[in-house]
């Protein structure tokens, strides 16, 4: 996007625009066409009222131009900040520009892009759509089409699932979806914010710092980064206080011994003083030796701790490598073999490994369903319910086991005497997959109770 010229002579005076854009009768999207008609009606009404009140007069022209110049300055500043990844401040400044000049297409488009990066999808759509109405430009049309597409609806569903999983304390499921979203579009800011807060919540400070560092690259003035600076200042202050509190007691000990020597000087003769001085020197030498030994012991202890930490890290890495030795396909095939031999407990373990370490949707989805199914088979009903729900909340009706998961979950509730949740599940199945073969007489019987 280009910067705006601040030459006031190039700014045209506003004229009454009772129909500031035309409705394209050939518009294929009925929703967009209806929205345009609504905009026309609202705009026509507001400007007619203004004319009746005699508020649109030529005396306002100079003020109008000055406001536009200020809005262009704000726009240029926001554009400059956004290009340097100061997205939060750029968003605040473009809002000021929009207040001064609400019909400017460039301001609306930049606001739409910034809101999109911030994952404020409703305001992003509002900006692009309004810009398209004021001037049917290519950029606005492109993003209106994207935000109205079926692909975006699927994306939005996944994004909402990740938020819902956090509320249901399914943290790993949320992390899995957010990481996939980041892989698809690494420029979106909010997933980094959510992952930073989520890892802070579960106590994984290493991962928290990792995502906080990435957030600092994509949105350098994000409010979450203020906590990072504040925490660093607190850590520095604590270290300084601890340093001040460390006092060497040896000088005080020596001073005490010297004080005793002074008392002896006044109560004894010169020979005794010399004898005491000799003893004092020996004690000082012993203190110095002990101090040196303590320092050496402290250094050895520090080295031992470092070696122990290194060994622990190596053990952790070895465990991880052991888990990752087998490929995703090998893990899945091993799980299937164990299931076929009716070793359900080990099969569940291997299916869970596929879920945790896998990258392919086909194997992960299949494994989630199999963990639910085998957990039900081994009477671990709580785990079965968790993984049936996980499958339903993660995937769509186009996936293989979607209606199977609905049906199995509903029947599991029913057979365990939870009629209320069974009905909720079957109503959900009828709504999501109305043509499913599982909408049978048994389901109708349960729903009629």
Residue-wise DSSP of 85-146: T-HHHHHHHHHHHHHH-TT-HHHHHHHHHHHHHTT-HHHHHHHHHHHHHHS--HHHHHHHHH
Q: What's the token pair of residue 94?
A: 């473009």
CA gap 402, 396 in Å, rounded: 6
- CA torsion through residues 217, 220, 223, 226, sign: positive
* Of 43-57, 74-88, 273-287, 386-400, the least confident: 43-57
Q: Quick one: pLDDT at residue 314?
A: 74
Q: Locate 302 and state its tokens.
A: 């520090």
The pLDDT value recorded for residue 56 is 41
Closest to 194 measured CA to CA, from 184, 183, 207: 207
Query: Measuring CA to CA, how many Å separate 293 from each of 163, 237, 250, 412, 445?
Result: 57, 31, 14, 69, 84
Greater confidence (441 vs 274) lies with 441
CB 94 within 8 A of CB 107: yes
Half-sphere exposure of residue 285, counting CA atoms within 13 Å on the CB side? 6
Largest CA distance in the chain: 121
State the residue for tokens 């994306």.
155
DSSP state of 8: G
Evaluate if residue 26 carries a pLDDT over 80. no
Q: Give the integer Cα–Cα distance in Å for 282 and 304.
A: 33
**Least confident among 14-18, 215-219, 412-416:** 14-18
User: What is the residue-wise DSSP string for 357-418?
Assistant: H---HHHHHHHHHHHHHHHHHTT-HHHHHHHHHHHHHHS-TTSTTHHHHHHHHHHHHHHTT-
0.85 cut: is pTM over it?
A: no
- Cβ neighbors of 47 (< 8 A, separation 6 or more) are 16, 17, 18, 56
Please count the other Cβ atoms lying within 10 Å of the Cβ belonging to residue 252: 10
Handedness of CA 281, 287, 293, 298 (dihedral sign): negative
**In whole angstroms, what is the distance from residue 86 CA to residue 78 CA?**
9
Name every residue whose Cβ is closer than 8 Å to that of residue 67 and which is 6 or more positions away in sequence: 100, 101
Q: Grade residue 355 by pLDDT with cuts at 50, 70 and 90.
A: very high
Sign of CA dihedral 35, 38, 40, 46: negative
User: Is residue 35 over pLDDT 80?
Assistant: no
Give 149's pLDDT tier (boundaries 50, 70, 90).
confident
Q: What pLDDT, on the 0 to 100 scale, is given for residue 248?
A: 45
pLDDT in tens, 222-271: 998 886 655 545 544 544 444 344 434 344 433 443 343 443 434 444 55
Tell me the average pLDDT of the chain: 78
CB 125 within 8 Å of CB 116: no
Residue owning tokens 């909010």: 190
pLDDT of residue 245: 43
Over residues 278-301, mean pLDDT: 72
Q: In sequence order, which residues have a C-beta less than 8 Å from that of residue 180 and are 6 or more positions away?
A: 158
| Banded pLDDT at 404 (limits 50, 70, 90) | very high
CA 438 to CA 303: how far, in whole Å?
Answer: 65
Query: What is 28-42 written as a DSSP string?
Result: S-HHHHHHHHHHHHH
3-state SS class at 55: coil
């Amino acid at each position: 996007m280009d910067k705006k010229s601040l030459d006031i002579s190039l700014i045209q005076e506003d004229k009454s625009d009772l129909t500031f854009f035309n409705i394209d009768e050939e518009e294929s999207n009925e929703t967009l066409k209806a929205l345009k008609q609504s905009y026309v009606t609202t705009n026509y009404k507001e400007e007619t009222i203004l004319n009746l009140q005699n508020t649109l007069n030529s005396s306002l022209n100079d003020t109008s131009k000055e406001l536009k110049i200020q809005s262009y300055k704000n726009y240029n500043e926001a554009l400059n900040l956004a290009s340097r990844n100061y997205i939060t401040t750029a968003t605040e400044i473009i809002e000021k520009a929009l207040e001064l000049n609400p019909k400017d297409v460039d301001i609306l488009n930049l606001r739409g892009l910034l809101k999109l990066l911030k994952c404020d999808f409703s305001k992003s759509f509002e900006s692009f759509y309004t810009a398209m109405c004021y001037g049917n430009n290519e950029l606005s049309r492109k993003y209106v089409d994207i935000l109205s597409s079926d692909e975006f609806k699927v994306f939005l569903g996944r994004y909402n699932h990740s938020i819902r999983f956090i509320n249901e304390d399914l943290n790993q499921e949320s992390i899995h979806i957010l990481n996939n979203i980041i892989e698809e579009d690494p420029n979106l800011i909010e997933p980094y914010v959510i992952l930073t807060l989520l890892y802070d919540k579960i106590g994984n400070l290493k991962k928290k710092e990792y995502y906080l560092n990435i957030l600092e690259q994509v949105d350098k003035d994000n409010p979450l980064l203020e906590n990072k600076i504040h925490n660093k200042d607190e850590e520095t202050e604590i270290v300084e206080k601890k340093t001040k509190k460390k006092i060497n007691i040896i000088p005080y000990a020596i001073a005490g011994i010297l004080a005793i020597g002074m008392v002896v000087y006044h109560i004894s003769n010169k020979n005794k003083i010399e004898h005491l001085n000799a003893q004092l020197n020996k004690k000082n030498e012993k203190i110095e030796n002990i101090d040196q030994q303590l320092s050496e012991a402290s250094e050895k202890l520090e080295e031992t701790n470092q070696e122990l930490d290194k060994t622990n890290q190596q053990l952790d890495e070895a465990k991880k490598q052991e888990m990752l030795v087998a490929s995703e396909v090998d893990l899945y095939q091993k799980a299937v073999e164990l299931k076929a031999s009716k070793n359900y407990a080990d099969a569940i373990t291997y299916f869970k490994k596929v879920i945790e370490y896998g990258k392919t949707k086909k194997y992960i989805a299949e494994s989630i369903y199999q963990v639910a199914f085998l957990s039900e088979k081994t009477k671990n009903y709580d785990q079965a319910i968790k993984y049936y729900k996980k499958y339903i909340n993660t995937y769509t009706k186009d996936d293989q086991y979607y209606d199977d998961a609905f049906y199995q979950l509903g029947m599991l509730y029913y057979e365990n005497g939870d009629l209320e949740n069974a009905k909720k599940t079957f109503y959900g199945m009828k709504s999501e997959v109305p043509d499913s073969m599982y909408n049978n007489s048994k389901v109708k019987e349960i729903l009629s109770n």
